[in-house]
């Protein structure tokens, strides 16, 4: 009955696993985005009611029980803005990382900056 919550939990685990398991920083970033999105999905699910209407009050509205809860939507609008700002900054850092090290692989970066005129390291993306 609550299978949408299992989807949210699955996405959460998938994002966490991607961040831990992959050595490529861009894949870590993708995992982070999936992780954030799973939480947004979770909040959305808390607002859902079977047989409920859009939370727009019209003439002759009858109590709150017939409407979905609009607050999680408003909260997640903010959370999405936060996620977009984080994503923008993360991508900016990744671009500068790639320019400095010639790769986004963790072990290549750990080895130090690439020489200015060297070709990108093998396997670099």
Partner 1 sequence: MGAHLPILPVVLPLVGAMLVPIVTLASRRAAWPLAVGAGLLATVAAGAGLVSVALHGTTRYAVGGWPPPWGIEVVLDPLSAFVAVTVAGVSTVGLLAAGPAAERLPRHAPAAFYALALIGLTGFLGMVVSGDLFNVFVFLEIASISSYALVASGGGPALPAAFRYLVLGTVGASFYLLGVGFLYALTGTLNMADLATRVAGQHASPLFVGGVAFVTVGLAIKMGLFPLHGWLPDAYTHAPAPVAVLLAPVGTKAAAYALARTLLYVLRPSDLPVATILAWTGAAAILVGGVLALRQTDARRLLAYSSVSQMGYIALGFGLATPAGLAGAYLHILNHALMKAALFLSVGAAALQGRGPAVHALGLGRGMPVAAACAVVAGLSMVGVPPFGGFFSKWYLLEGTVGAGEPVLAGVILAGSLLALGYMYRFTEEVWLGGSGASPTPAEDAPKGGHAAPGAGGTPGATPSAVAIGLVILAAVTLAAGLGNVALVGVLAPVTGLR
The residues binding partner 1 (CB under 8 A) are 12, 16, 19, 25, 28-29, 32, 35-36, 39, 42-43, 46, 72, 75, 78-79, 82, 85-86, 89-90, 92-94, 96-97, 100, 109-110, 113
Query: Minimum Å distance from CB 31 to partner 1?
Result: 8
Q: Is 59 or 76 the residue whose CB approaches partner 1 more closely?
A: 76
Residue 76 has a CB neighbour count (10 Å cut-off) of 19
- State the DSSP code for 24: B
Q: Is 59 or 117 the residue whose CB approaches partner 1 more closely?
A: 117
Q: Are the C-beta atoms of residues 13 and 28 closer than 8 Å to each other?
A: no
Query: Minimum Å distance from CB 15 to partner 1?
Result: 9
Q: In whole angstroms, give the CA distance from residue 49 to residue 72.
A: 13
């Amino acid at each position: 009955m609550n299978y949408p919550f299992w989807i949210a939990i699955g996405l959460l685990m998938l994002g966490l696993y991607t961040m831990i398991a992959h050595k490529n920083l861009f894949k870590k970033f993708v995992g982070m985005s999936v992780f954030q999105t799973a939480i947004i999905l979770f909040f959305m699910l808390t607002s859902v009611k079977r047989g409920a209407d859009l939370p727009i009050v019209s003439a002759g509205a009858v109590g709150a029980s017939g409407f979905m809860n609009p607050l999680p939507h408003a909260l997640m609008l903010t959370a999405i803005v936060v996620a977009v700002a984080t994503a923008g900054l993360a991508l900016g850092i990744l671009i500068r990382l790639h320019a400095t090290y010639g790769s986004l692989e963790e072990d290549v970066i750990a080895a130090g900056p690439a020489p200015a005129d060297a070709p990108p390291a093998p396997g670099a993306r």
